Amino acid sequence: MAEQENFRCLRCGYEYSQPKSGKAQVEERICPKCKSNSVRKLSK
Amino acid sequence: MMDAGRHPRIKLLTLSEVEEVTGYVGNFHVKVRKKARFVDEGACTSCGECATVCPVTVPDEYQIGLGTRKAIYKPFPQAVPSAYVINLADCLGMNPIACGKCAERCQKKCIDFDMRDEIIEFDVGAIIVATGMEPYDPTAMDEYGYTRFENVITSMEFERLICASGPTEGHLVRPSDHKIPKRIGFIQCVGSRMDSRGNPYCSNICCMNTVKDSLLLKEHYPDIEIYVFYIDLRAFGKGFEDLLKRSRQAGVKYIRGLPGSVVEDPETRNLIVSVENTTAGRVEQYELDMLILSVGLKPREDADRLRQILNLSKTSDGFLLEAHPKLRPVDAPTPGVFLAGCVEAPKDIKDSVTQASAAVARASTVLNSERLVVEAITAVVDKDKCTACGVCARVCPFGAIKFDKDKKAPPEVIEAMCAGCGTCAAECRFDAITSAALHR
Amino acid sequence: MAAVEAAVGENGRERIVVFACNWCSYAGADGAGVARLQQPPNARIIRTMCSGRVAEKFILRAFELGAAMVLVSGCHLADCHYISANSWTQKRVDRLWDRLEKLGIRPERLQLEWISAAEGQKFARVMQEIEEMRKTVTAEEIEHTRRVLAEEREKEAVRKKPRVKA
């Protein structure tokens, strides 16, 4: 099971989690609710 | 290739590897390691006497393991330079000389066990990267039975079997019993267009390669039954649709669906293929004498080393990144470096040659300019504030900042490589590097 | 820096400071203007060559001078004109969000958006959303921010005093 990462959108406040992507490159974060890129990665 | 080898203004360095490239557009300094051949290129006449006495026999890579060669060999008949080479790993030993039979036999005395690798250095104005690709290895696709079932081969192996100078002199024979097959299947998109294994992109050439192969087979063996299992038939280029039509007219059957399972009949070694024929809307079974996996293309395993030497980026498919996908398709983002052929993306011969011509034209622009226009805004280091931490050099996407961490001296910005993005200035904690990339 | 000061101007409480990259976001913003899409008039756009150029100190200075909201905008991550410079932008903004929170400043006052040259509509929509958020920023909040960041800058200045070279 891949490691889960937690995110909070700073536009609408929505919180969600996603499995950690294996890719080395930085990936674009898109809030599933409001489509904003202002998504903060929360440390556990 | 022979023309290139003979041309007075082309210097061909074979058995060579680029070890280091420093400098910038117009002024690259290149270090190449020319590996020892152990045979004098100029003197060897390719008479082949040495190979007849060599005691070591190994699988021949050029014949995809379907044929053999000796430890001293010529890679293929048309090789340039036309000379033999000793593979150090296969030879019984040179230091001390374990066998030495080839050197004894050679009448021109051009075999030299004391040859060593040579480092060659030179300056160039532009660099074109055309290091190609590799075929996909379908062993991982277990359901097709490659390496488990003898009569399942790849399209590369097929090319060798059908080639007049190949291990079977152009006769298509089944690996298991050496009989000529009566029913053949081609499975398309092996290792391409999939998310789970292999690669997600389309490898460009496999559809047309199979169409060509099917026509070749029908020419050799008019009564052979051919089935092509596909998802789409991509015949987009000049003359391609016509070729596809001819293939259909010759009686080749195209079935829209990729086989779900391949089972081997233990007695006959035939392959029983189950496939959902999506146009007919039913599951079908085919018993075939031989199965050919139309493998896709992928970036070379050793491509990363050259990438790091030249500071080039990859796109998500693993091939090299071009400066702009539409407007600068043969430029690498680094000024003075250009791309051609499959190193940039899978493509066929015509497109590779077109790209090569384009890359040369672009390189000529560099070589024929008296002066080069570079970015107006480049980064500038303030030596008083700099603490030689090296962060700017690390973050630069263009590798334009030279920093020696042992010297502990302020870094040097290579103006010709700086694109003016300002990332270095933003990351510097000491305000020691400025970039006028912020309009005042 | 002068550009940041000019952008915030006198009335920081009304101000949305936008850092837009030359190749994508600024063109996108321009597109929104050409299409006459409704946008808050209190925004000020600073054009940089790349979002990677937007240093932490610019963003903090904007807040220190009293800006209510700051937007950093650049090319989508795979499309940066300078290859990968915008990946540093993401990391930097991540660090800033942590730092703002630690200083008692609401991190959502700093927004990040990847906007391409063709996304004029997205730019206009994002600006409207940020304007709605700006209305929730109180004068007290801004005063607090100005004080805290001014103190921070003092501490930095002391720390960064040029060392006497032996």
What confidence tens digit (pLDDT) does each residue in C151-162 have? 998 888 877 666
Q: Is residue C64 part of a domain?
A: yes
Q: Is the pLDDT of residue B436 over 80?
A: no
* A-contacting chains (≥3 CB pairs under 8 Å): C
Contacts of B264 (CB under 8 A, 6+ apart): B145, B148, B149, B151, B270, B271, B272
What is the pLDDT confidence band of residue B361, given thresholds at 50, 70 and 90? very high
Of C76, C87, C97, the CB nearest to A40: C97
For chain C, how big is the Rg over CA atoms in Å? 16
Whether residue C83 and residue B377 make contact (CB cut-off 8 A), yes or no, is no
pTM: 0.80
The per-residue pLDDT for range B380-398, each reduced to its tens digit, is: 998 888 988 889 998 988 8
Residue with tokens 């609408």: A12
Range from B135-144, B318-327, C65-74 carrying the lowest mean pLDDT? B318-327
| Interstrand relation of B412-413 and B401-402 (parallel, antiparallel or unpaired) | antiparallel
Domain ranges of chain A: 4-42
In this structure, the dihedral spanned by the alpha carbons of residues B165, B168, B174 and B175, taken in order and rounded to 10 degrees, is -100
Give yes or no for residue B32 having a pLDDT over 50: yes
Q: C85 at the B interface (CB within 8 A)?
A: yes
Mean pLDDT across chain B, nearest whole number? 92
Number of domains forming the structure of chain C: 1
Instruction: Give the nearest partner residue to B426 out of C47, C53, C80, using CB atoms.
Output: C53
Q: Is A33 on the interface with C (CB under 8 A)?
A: no
AA letter at B297: L
Give pLDDT, residue B313: 82
- Pairwise CA distance, residues B44 & B313, whole Å: 41
Mean pLDDT for all residues in chain C? 89
DSSP C65-108: TT-SEEEEEE--GGG-TTTTHHHHHHHHHHHHHHHHHHTT--GG
Cα–Cα distances in angstroms (integers) from residue B331 to residues B25, B45, B320, B340, B344, in the given order: 12, 40, 10, 9, 10
> Mind telling me how many Å the CA of C127 is from chain A's nearest CA?
11
Distances (CA, A) of B347 to A12, B232, B351, B355: 45, 17, 6, 10
Sequence-ordered strand ranges (E) for B270-397: 271-277, 282-288, 290-295, 297-299, 337-339, 380-381
> What distance in Å separates residue C140's CA from the closest CA in chain B?
30
- 8 Å CB contact of A37 and C114: yes
Tell me B338's DSSP state.
E
| Regions of chain A where pLDDT drops below 50 | none
In this structure, are residues B215 and B246 in contact, taking their beta carbons and an 8 Å threshold? yes
C 130-149: CB under 8 A from A = 133
pLDDT of B404 > 90? The answer is no
C49 lies in some domain: yes
Taking a C-beta distance cutoff of 8 angstroms, is the pair C3, C46 a contact?
Answer: yes
The answer, for A27 touching chain C at a CB cutoff of 8 Å, is yes
Beta bridge partners of C19: C46, C72
Longest dimension (CA), chain A: 30
- A20 vs B127: which has the higher pLDDT: B127
CA distance C141 to chain B (A): 27
Chain C residues with CB-CB distance to A38 below 8 A: 108, 110-113
Confidence of residue C163 (pLDDT cuts 50, 70, 90): low
For an interface test with C, give the residue of B377, B392, B438 to mutate (most C CBs within 10 A). Answer: B438
For residue C37, the domain's CATH number is 3.40.50
pLDDT-derived band of residue B337, with 50, 70 and 90 as boundaries?
very high
- Residues of chain B neighbouring C85 (CB-CB closer than 8 A): 395, 397, 421-423
ipTM: 0.86
Residue B421 is nearest to which of C47, C78, C85, comparing CB atoms? C85
Query: Residue C164: pLDDT above 70?
Result: no
Flag if A28 and C129 touch (Cβ within 8 Å).
no
Q: What is the pLDDT of residues B53-71, one digit of tens each?
A: 999 999 999 998 889 999 9
> Is residue B160 over pLDDT 80?
yes
Q: What is the mean pLDDT of residues C41-58?
A: 90
Closest approach of chain B CAs to the CA of C137, in angstroms?
Answer: 28
- As beta bridge partners, residue B401 has B413
Cβ <8 Å between A10 and C113: no
pLDDT at C27: 87
pLDDT digits (tens, 9 = 90+) for B218-247: 999 999 999 999 999 999 999 999 999 999
Q: For residues B111 and B102, what is the distance between their CA atoms, to the nearest angstrom?
A: 8
Question: C165 in a domain, yes or no?
Answer: no
Checking if the pLDDT of B440 tops 60, the result is: no
Whether residue B430 and residue C49 make contact (CB cut-off 8 A), yes or no, is no
> What is the domain extent for residue C17?
2-160
Contact list in C for residue A37 (CB cut-off 8 A) is: 112-114
Judge whether C154 lies within some domain: yes
